[in-house]
Amino acid sequence: MTRVLVKGPETALADVQADWDEEENLIDSNLAFYDLKHLQHRNYEFAYPTFDSLSKDPVQLPSKGDVINYLHGGNDIVIRLPNTSKFHLEGEDHDGNEEWFEFNPFAWLPIGVGLNEEKSGDLVTAEPEWEWYFDDDFHWETVLQLGAAIRNTGSGYHDPRPPKSGPAPKSRSMPPPSAYFPSPSIQELASNNVNGLLAATVKFRSERPINGGFKESDGQIYFLPPHPSRDSGEFIRGILEREYGFDVEHQPDWVEHYALPNEDEFRNRIEQIEMEISDIESGVQEARRYRSILFEGDDELEEMVPEVLRRLGLDVDGEVPGGRDGAIKLEDQTFILEITGQSDGVDHQKIRQLEDHLDDTASEGYGTNRTGLLIFNHFKYRDPTNRQLTTANFKDRLEKRDCKLLTTVDLYQILCDYEREEIDTEHVVGMLTSGDTIIRANNPLCQSAGQTESRLGRLRRRLSEIM
């Protein structure tokens, strides 16, 4: 069952409700409505997003990264457009005086959005399934402009004040294509009589290949202009009924203010269960972070692999910039690390780097009984069950310098065995210090026994039905 988040107007149609100065959690829903026209008309109530010390609370909006993840999770965002993209929110200058700053209501989105307000009209050509929305009463006041946005997964809002002093900022050259999010896929829903875009849906391509190719998001953003004769509640109800097939009960919003005492008790219990589910989901997401060692490259692995090793109970020193990628410190032995991920097999250049790390640590007197350990994510784009490790072309070289190899596939399996309490830290140390040049896990690679997300989703849907 769809769980609806509504940002802005209060409505009984929302499962999750958040005002503009409240921080919403997108993952608590799988369909989110953002009524930016509602914010436009209440702009005097809130401060600019970067000012949190005023009498007014700042507007809270999700980050671009959160939006991208939400869409790739198969969730939709529906935006009711304002009549203008040029309204203001309160802030203060460097001296603490009240000042109003121009606010871009679309800066939190991973797509460039503009509204051309120079013309208006009544003639509209809409896709057949959207003719109910663009009826004879519809009048358009803006033309929608969409394009790629600068890549930034954080907040879209920064301090709008000019620098206190100093030289004027240097002019910047045009950002390279790599500085932008992947080009969005735009589907027109309605246009005016000169092909000006009035409404559209937008999907986003994955930034990294999935199963050998780039995947388009299952979720999408709807950009819809406000209908002059429909308020927020009618807008949301119409979308739910027409686009998502909801059988929406037509009752006034104020009905939600009345309930028998036992209903309130049940609601409180459901809220407690939902909080427990959120904690479980956080635990699931934390555990899934470690899967990245099966497909990531150098930079990400250099951060995640030491974290996995520490989770196994090992004492791990951090990397040295321009040198070793860390070290495992045992009581009477030190493993010098070179951590890497490649799209093909084990690379002799990485073995050479490991040898250099050993020479450097010997020169500086770091560690005792030093052994090199190459942690390698080989054929990182392949399913781990289809990766071949041919040791004949590099094993002799490892043995000459008393070095060892551990693939991230085996490391992941060792972590699985450790989490199942089939092995402990002492066992892991024994694997490292054994006479084996190639360190192998005891068991075949573990795979998920079920779809945790779907199970949690079904539980959430059942709770939503009760609510």
What's the burial of 431, exposed, middle or buried (CB within 10 Å: 0-12/13-18/19+)?
middle
| pLDDT value at residue 278 | 76
Name the phi and psi angles at 280, rounded to 5.
-65, -45
Pairing of strands 87-92, 31-35: unpaired
Rounded CA separation 97/78 (Å) = 36
What 3-state DSSP class applies to 250? Answer: coil
Q: Which residues lie across from 6 on neighbouring strands?
A: 17, 33
| pLDDT value at residue 71 | 93
Q: Which residue has the tokens 């209903």?
A: 263
Amino acid at 341: G
| pLDDT value at residue 252 | 64
Contact 124, 135 (CB under 8 A): no
Amino acid at 364: E
Domain spans of the chain?
Answer: 4-160+172-257, 291-433
Output the six-digit token pair for 378.
Answer: 């080989």
Output the six-digit token pair for 177.
Answer: 């294509």
Output the six-digit token pair for 435.
Answer: 């006479």
Domain 291-433: top CATH class: alpha beta
CA 61 to chain centre: 14
| pLDDT value at residue 157 | 86
DSSP codes of every residue in 367-406: SSSEEEEEEEETTTTS-GGG-----TTTHHHHHHTTEEEE
CA 458 to chain centre: 22
Q: What is the pLDDT along the chain (467 residues), one digit of tens a residue?
A: 789 999 999 988 899 999 999 999 998 999 999 999 999 999 999 999 999 877 889 999 999 889 999 999 999 999 999 988 888 999 998 888 889 999 999 999 999 899 998 777 888 899 999 999 999 889 888 899 998 776 666 677 888 988 876 555 555 555 555 555 667 889 999 999 888 999 999 998 866 555 656 678 899 999 999 998 888 989 999 999 999 988 876 666 677 777 777 877 887 887 888 788 777 777 777 777 888 899 988 889 999 999 999 999 999 999 998 899 999 999 999 999 999 998 888 888 899 999 999 999 999 999 999 999 999 999 998 999 888 888 888 999 999 988 999 999 999 999 999 988 999 999 999 999 999 999 999 887 776 655 555 555 666 666 565 55
Rounded CA separation 306/301 (Å) = 8
Nearest of 359, 357, 315 to residue 336 by alpha carbon: 357
DSSP character at residue 141: -
| pLDDT value at residue 356 | 94
Rounded CA separation 76/57 (Å) = 27
Q: Where are the alpha helices (DSSP H) in 73-127?
A: none
| pLDDT value at residue 457 | 60
* Full-model pTM: 0.53
Q: Let me know how long the chain is.
A: 467
Q: Provide the angle, in degrees to the nearest 10, between the axes of the packed helices 261-289 and 452-466.
A: 170
Residue 175: C-alpha distances to residues 63, 172, 227 (Å): 21, 8, 37
Rounded CA separation 330/314 (Å) = 8
Vertex 26 angle, CA 25 and 27, to 5°: 95
Nearest of 77, 59, 81, 58 to residue 67 by alpha carbon: 77
What 3-state DSSP class applies to 5? Answer: strand
Pairing of strands 221-224, 76-80: parallel
What 3-state DSSP class applies to 274? Answer: helix
**Tally of CA atoms within 13 A in the half-sphere of 16 that contains its CB:** 22
| pLDDT value at residue 459 | 63
Pairing of strands 87-92, 76-80: unpaired
Q: Provide the angle, in degrees to the nearest 10, between the axes of the packed helices 408-419 and 298-311.
A: 30
Output the six-digit token pair for 463.
Answer: 């709770």
**Tally of CA atoms within 13 A in the half-sphere of 431 that contains its CB:** 24
Rounded CA separation 306/14 (Å) = 43
